[in-house]
């Protein structure tokens, strides 16, 4: 009887282990052929998790190894994207509540704390300290008279609308800019796309990619500017 129970426990643990790794993302298969340029050694991959819903995704932090293959440093992290899912390639527009698909460089990181006091104090990316005021803004007005759509500014603006970078809900306590639609910025094609904290009770974003804070901090601490990190957001 004891041997039988041990056998059942062994089979159960084997099944659980298989299930735990069954849905891991294959970095090499996902990144190959996606247009990642030579010189990029880190790619964050975001894949829709349609089984959970249109606004859910899985994320892996992938790094190029000495053997020339991509492997996961962090794998199968749960994430949320835009309320209406991920836009088809080239289909993102301002206000559609979709996350843009494609391959984009990861820009500067940001947070509400001086870097030395933050959870990402060892980060190897440019960091912008957001203070508790309305100085830091991301312009989302497609018709801004200042011609600075999809740009982070400091100070007053004549734009009809903007994203305040210091939020009362704390979603931007830690984050990184996704360099979407910025070279050049095409009015109406979407703005202010970030990786940021997954807020408590939230099941979608306005178009950003959000992670649980502990996962986000891990990914941010892993990023290395010298490896020219990019994010690959898959439509399907």
How far apart, in whole angstroms, are the C-alpha atoms of residue 146 and residue 158? 7
pLDDT digits (tens, 9 = 90+) for 144-155: 999 999 999 999
How far apart, in whole angstroms, are the C-alpha atoms of residue 59 and residue 48? 9
pLDDT digits (tens, 9 = 90+) for 117-143: 999 998 999 999 999 888 999 999 999
Q: Determine the pLDDT at residue 132.
A: 84
How far apart, in whole angstroms, are the C-alpha atoms of residue 107 and residue 83? 23
CB atoms under 10 Å from CB of 131, counted, come to 12
Q: What mean pLDDT comes out for the span 179-190?
A: 97
Q: Determine the pLDDT at residue 229.
A: 98
Q: Determine the pLDDT at residue 1.
A: 46
How far apart, in whole angstroms, are the C-alpha atoms of residue 64 and residue 177? 22
pLDDT digits (tens, 9 = 90+) for 19-70: 333 468 999 999 999 999 999 999 999 999 999 999 999 999 999 999 999 9
Which 8-state DSSP code applies to residue 164? E
For every residue of 80-106, DSSP letters joined together read E-BTT-BPPTT---TTS--BPPEEEEE
pLDDT above 90 as % of the chain: 86
β-bridge pairing 102-111 and 127-129 = parallel
């Amino acid at each position: 009887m004891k041997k039988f129970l041990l056998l059942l426990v062994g089979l159960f643990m084997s099944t659980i282990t298989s299930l735990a790794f069954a849905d891991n993302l294959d970095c090499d298969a996902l990144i190959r052929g996606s247009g990642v340029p030579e010189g990029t050694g880190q790619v964050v991959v975001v894949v829709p998790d349609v089984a959970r819903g249109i606004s859910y995704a899985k994320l892996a932090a992938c790094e190029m190894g000495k053997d020339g293959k991509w492997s996961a440093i962090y794998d199968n992290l749960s994430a949320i994207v835009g309320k209406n899912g991920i836009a088809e390639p080239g289909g993102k527009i301002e206000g559609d509540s979709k996350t843009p698909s494609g391959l984009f460089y990861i820009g500067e990181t940001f947070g509400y704390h001086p870097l030395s006091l933050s959870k990402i104090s060892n980060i190897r990316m440019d960091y912008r300290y957001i203070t508790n005021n309305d100085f830091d803004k991301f312009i989302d007005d497609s018709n801004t008279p200042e011609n600075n759509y999809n740009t982070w500014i400091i100070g007053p603006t004549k734009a009809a609308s903007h994203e305040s970078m210091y939020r009362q809900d704390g979603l931007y306590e830690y984050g990184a800019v996704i360099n979407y639609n910025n070279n050049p910025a095409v009015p109406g094609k979407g703005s202010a796309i970030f990786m940021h904290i997954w807020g408590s009770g939230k099941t979608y974003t306005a178009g950003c990619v959000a992670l649980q804070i502990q996962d986000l901090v891990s990914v941010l601490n892993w990023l290395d500017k010298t490896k020219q990190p990019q994010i690959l957001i898959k439509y399907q």
